[in-house]
Structures are given as structure tokens and as C-alpha cells.
Amino acid sequence: MSFLEDDEDIIFQTKKTKEILEMIEYVTNKFYEKFEKAKIEENLLDYIDLEKYTLKLLYDKKEDLSKEVSKENTIIKIEEKCGNLDNLRESIKIEYDIAKLEEIYNEIFGIIQERFLNYTELLNNKYVLSDIAKAMKEDVEEIAVDEYQDINMLQEYIIRAVSNKNIFRVGDPKQSIYGFRNSRPELFVEKENNIDNENKVIYLDKNFRSLENVLEITNNVFSRIMTKETGIIDYNENHYLKKGRYITGEFRLQENSDISSLDNLEISSLSEEEIQDRINFFKPEILLINTKEEEESDDVEGIDDNKEENKNEQKKENALEESEDINDETLEEIESIEKEAIAIAKRIIALKEEYIRRGKKLDYKDIVILLRSVNNKAGRYQEILEKFGIPCYTDVNESFLEIPEVSLICSYLDIIENPLNDMNMLAVLRSYFFKMDIDEFTRIKVVEKEITNGQKENNFYESILIYIDYIDEKAKENIQISLKEKMVYSKCKKLIEELTRLKKLEEEKGLYEVLKDIIIESRILYST
């Protein structure tokens, strides 16, 4: 909407927008009314229900303030700030004073923001603490809140209702960028900025995971990009990550370092050069791996590939070359993933050799390889590392839907809707639900071919129907039926009956009841 549009157009668009918003509000409220009623009928609660009912238990309504009065007061305040609306429009049309527009906008926004953010005053006017809250306030000795930056207003008022200046809050506003569950990280910042003499702020700014160069670049970047406008806080020295981890011997290089209380530094016999060398050993390095050129060599920048000095590495390379014939001539045919894995394997071996030369111990379990798209790479990495004699373990989590039990249930649900899907049908038939084997599958297909003379290739569900009709006809004609035929017939009939029953159950009571039937009554939980 432009400020330069005609008054009639602005009014028309505003009315239309109002109608749409009111309809959305009406539909949303109706949905929640029916949803609440359905949950009550089923005796169900979700997480937000627990919070809302808790709040109702802790606060009693004091008086009913009209929403219309609240709206009217807001409009009056805005008009007081801005003057007559017609004059405002005229001012905009004539003066085009952008600075004035911005000033007016900020004042209007401030009023609206004050109305919504100053909810404490509104709550205090409308509600008082219940007897339950007062009793709990006396009983609760201390409240500890973790991840306080993710708290929302509803949770905040629950805590306020039962607390009595006995709250210990832990959090990090820098982690609040996700807006988790309507979080209000400004509450955290407000507490930090308005701390009184009775309370205390403790900055847990020591970082024990990362080396100093990582912390420096992190502070350097975020001090420039993280402001109140972009990230709730100004990333200043109070929020800087400070070094808490020290490499063996590093204290000796720092002035006025008190190392008397530190154990295992092993610095007494090291020279300044040795200490600095040890520190440099932990600096990050970049391995450049050429994965595209036709002519490849085994050299990778940053790797000591001296075969005379590193006999162990030579043995590992030879073992890989013998098993997979990987050498300079064939390396160009290997995928880039494999080349990366080979370079990493060499670096690990070189690293172990380096530790041995320094008289230190490095176990393979001390090394971690972080990958993007782990599921696509981990298997090949593991294979190549093991070719080099490096034991490894890949932490690749299965997709939930790929778990055998879950996959089987999905297949079962699928054939209820679409029994013509052979892959899912056979998966269910072979499972503990029906316990059919390959021999029984073969019998069914053989009968089908005899009946149809092999003129049509049916899906397996149709083959089962043909087999059932075939056995029924034999029974009518008093033709002897073998024990094996009876067993197959029984399983086929059970399948049709179960699919019919579950389909009817779905139509009458929904998918949830079907799932419950499959999981509980079929005892799948006890069969796996």
C-alpha cells in the first residue's frame, strides 16, 4: 500500500484486509474450539495444553477488561501522537517528508510495542496469584532454568508464579536465533541488563573445546554481524569466547602464568623452542587434493610422503595397491571421495609416526573424521581406511523409515490401500505376520500359470485370488487336497480376511486404530 494512493482506495483495501483477517481469526478460533473438544473427549493433552492448564491453576482472574476499551485506548494514544489522520494524509501528500514519516512510524510502533511487550502490567491488573501458587511459592526452595534464552512468555509467568527471588538461570542469547517455541530471548537480555544488587551475573565465557585461533575468528566475525537488530544482543567483550583450553607447555610462554597448581604439563625439561614447536603442531592445516587432473601423484600438500623415512606408510600403501591395484596409473579412475579417503588415511599414518617421534602416544580412537553427507561417503571411507590397516567405526544412523520393523509396518499399510504392489505384498507375506516361504510362493504362481495357461502375468495379489478359487473348486468337486495345499490356502485366506478387516477398520475409526492393531494385536513388539 502506497502513502500516495487515494483515500478511497486506502479505505477500500483496509476494509478488505480487515474482512479477510476477521475470517481467518474466526476459522482459526472455531478449529481450536473443536480441537479442544475432541482432545477432552479422548482424554488427551499435548505439551501446550499442560502449560496452559498450569497457568490457569497458578493465576485467578481479577477482573474482565474489555478488549474494545484496550483497542480504543491504543487508538487514542496514536491520535495524540500523530494528530488528526486526515491532516496526516495531507501532510504526507504535500510535504513528502520521509524523515517525518519515519519519526511518526517509530512513535506508532513504540505505542503498539509497549502495549504488547508490557504484558506484566496487564497481567497484574487482570490476574492475581492463586492459592496454589502462593503455597508453591513457600515450598519451592530454588528454581534452576536451563536454556533460558528459549523460554516463552507463558513459561516465564509459570516460573514467576512459584518463585521468590530464588531463580538460577543458565543460557546463551547467542543461541536464540531459532525462535524455539515462540521464545523471547529479550527476557534474558532484560534480566542481564537490569540486574540489581541482590542478584549476580556470572559470565561463563571460558571455552574448553576450541583452540585460540578458532575463538579469535569467531569473535572477530560475530562482533561485526551480531547486533541488537540482527541477533538480540550486541556481541561485545562480555559475550566473547575466551580461551579455556591450553596445550601442554603453553603456560610457560605466557607472562605471570601460575602453573604451580596445574598437573601433567610436562614442561620442566622442554626448551622454549620445543614448547613453541609443540604448540605449532596443533595449528590447523589444509590438505589440497587434486581430484580432477588426468595425471595424479600420491603427493598431497601437507603430507610427508618420504617412503624411506616412513616405512610403515609404505607398507600400508603397498597393501592397498595389491588389493585394489591403486597406483599412479589407475588413480585417475578413482572417485574423488576415494582420493580424499586415501589422503586422509596417509595423513593419519603420518600423524601417528609424528607422535612416535615425539615420544607421545596417539590411538586411532583419538581421531575423528567429520564428513558432509555421511550416509553417502562413510562406507567407502571405512573400506579404504581398513585397507590401510586403520581400524574405524562409522556412526551412520538409519533413517527411521529404514528400520526393518518400521519398513514392514509401512509395507503393511501400503497393501491395505494398494494390494497390487508386489514388493510390499511379498515383504508382508514373508514376515512373521503370515510366515510364507519361497516354496509356497512358487506353488501359488504354478497354479496361476496352469489356470491361465501362462497367457497373462498377474501381480501376486491376483495370483493369490486365483489360488483360493482353485482350492475352493477342488473342495466342491471333492478332489483330494494335500496338506501343503491346505496350509498355503489357509495363509492366503488369512491375508484376504486381514486386508478386508483392516480396510474396514480404517474407514470406520481411522489410520491410528489400524496402526494400533498391527503393532499391538499382531504382537510385532514381541516378535522383534
- How far is residue 86's CA from residue 384's CA, in Å, rounded to a whole number? 77
Do 92 and 30 belong to one domain?
A: yes
Residues 417 and 511 in one domain: yes
Determine the Cα–Cα distance for residues 81 and 103; give it in Å rounded to an integer.
10
Structural domain boundaries enclosing 143: 130-193
Total residues belonging to the chain: 528
Q: Are 61 and 117 within one domain?
A: yes
Do 222 and 189 lie in one domain? The reply is no
How far apart are the C-alpha atoms of 10 and 4, rounded to whole Å?
Answer: 9
Is residue 200 in a domain?
no
Residue 308: per-residue pLDDT: 43
Average pLDDT over all residues of the chain: 75
Q: Out of 235, 261, 280, pick the residue that ends a domain.
A: 280
Measured distance CA(61)–CA(116) in Å, rounded: 19
Per-residue pLDDT of 202-236, as tens digits, reads 888 888 888 788 889 989 998 888 887 776 778 88
Strand-strand pairing, 206-207 and 242-243: parallel
Answer whether 186's CB lies under 8 Å from 180's CB.
Answer: no
Contact 190, 149 (CB under 8 A): no
Residue 455 within a domain: yes
Query: Residue 108 in 3-state DSSP?
Result: helix
User: pLDDT tens-digit profile of 24-63?
Assistant: 888 888 888 888 888 888 888 887 788 888 888 998 877 5
What radius of gyration do the chain's Cα atoms show? 36
303-310: Cβ within 8 A, 24+ apart: 303/343, 303/346, 303/347, 303/350, 304/350, 305/346, 310/349, 310/350, 310/353
Question: Quick one: what percent of the chain has pLDDT higher than 90?
Answer: 24
Q: How far apart are CA 157 and CA 295, in angstroms?
A: 68
Note whether 339 and 331 are within 8 A (CB): yes
Residue 310 in domain: yes
pLDDT average, residue stretch 55-80: 57
Q: Answer yes or no: are the C-beta atoms of 287 and 342 closer than 8 Å.
A: no
Task: Give the model's confidence band at 84: pLDDT under 50 very low, under 70 low, under 90 confident, else very high.
Answer: very low
- Name the phi and psi angles at 376, rounded to 5: -85, -20
For residue 382, report the phi and psi dihedrals to the nearest 5 degrees. Answer: -60, -45
Q: Do 408 and 500 belong to one domain?
A: yes
Residues 407 and 513 sit within 8 Å (Cβ to Cβ): no
* Burial class of residue 317 in the structure, from the number of CB atoms within 10 Å of its CB (0-12 exposed, 13-18 middle, 19+ buried): buried
Shared domain for 11 and 121, answered yes or no, is yes
Grid cell in block for residue 73: 485506548
Residue 199 is assigned to a structural domain of this protein: no
Examine the fold and report which residue of 69, 97, 127 is the final residue of a domain before the chain moves on. Answer: 127
- With cell 617412503, the residue in question is 307
SS3 48: helix
- Chain centre to alpha carbon of residue 193: 31
Q: How many CA atoms lie within 13 A of 172 on its CB side?
A: 9
3-state secondary structure 1-31: CCCCCCHHHHHHHHHHHHHHHHHHHHHHHHH
Q: Is the predicted pLDDT of residue 331 greater than 60, yes or no?
A: no
| Of 39, 55, 19, 296, residue with least CA distance to 161 | 55
Residue 2: inside a domain, yes or no? no
Distance CA 502, CA 496 (A): 10
| Co-location of 134 and 120 in the same domain | no
Is 382 inside a domain boundary? yes
DSSP SS3 for 278 = helix
Q: For the purposes of burial, counting CB atoms within 10 Å of the CB of 388, is it exposed (0-12), middle (13-18) or buried (19 or more)?
A: buried
Do 408 and 516 share a domain, yes or no?
yes
Tens digit of each residue's pLDDT (9 = 90 or more) over 380-407: 888 899 999 999 988 776 667 777 788 8
Cell of residue 59, nine digits: 493465576
Nearest to 148 by CA among 120, 195, 188: 188
**Cell triple for residue 180?**
524455539
Scored b (16 or more CB within 10 A) or e, 363-379 reads: eeeeeebebeeeeebbe
Both 97 and 151 in a single domain? no
The answer as to whether 198 is a domain residue is: no
pLDDT digits (tens, 9 = 90+) for 93-152: 444 444 454 555 455 445 444 444 344 544 556 788 899 999 999 999 999 999 998 888
Show Cβ contacts of residue 205 under 8 Å, excluding neighbours closer than 6 positions.
238, 239, 240, 241, 242
Domain count, the chain: 6
Let me know whether 357 and 421 are in one domain. Answer: no
Pairing of strands 59-61, 143-145: unpaired
- Per-residue cell: 44: 488427551
What's the pLDDT score for residue 521?
67
3-state helix, strand, coil in the chain (%, to 5): 60, 5, 35
The pLDDT tens digits of the residues spanning 360-370 come to: 788 898 899 98
Q: Are residues 292 and 344 in the same domain?
A: yes
Q: Which amino acid is at 97?
A: D
Which of 330, 344, 239 is closest to 300 using CA atoms? Answer: 344
| In-domain check, residue 420 | yes
Cell numbers given for 332: 585417475
Decide which of 395, 422, 452 is a domain's last residue.
395
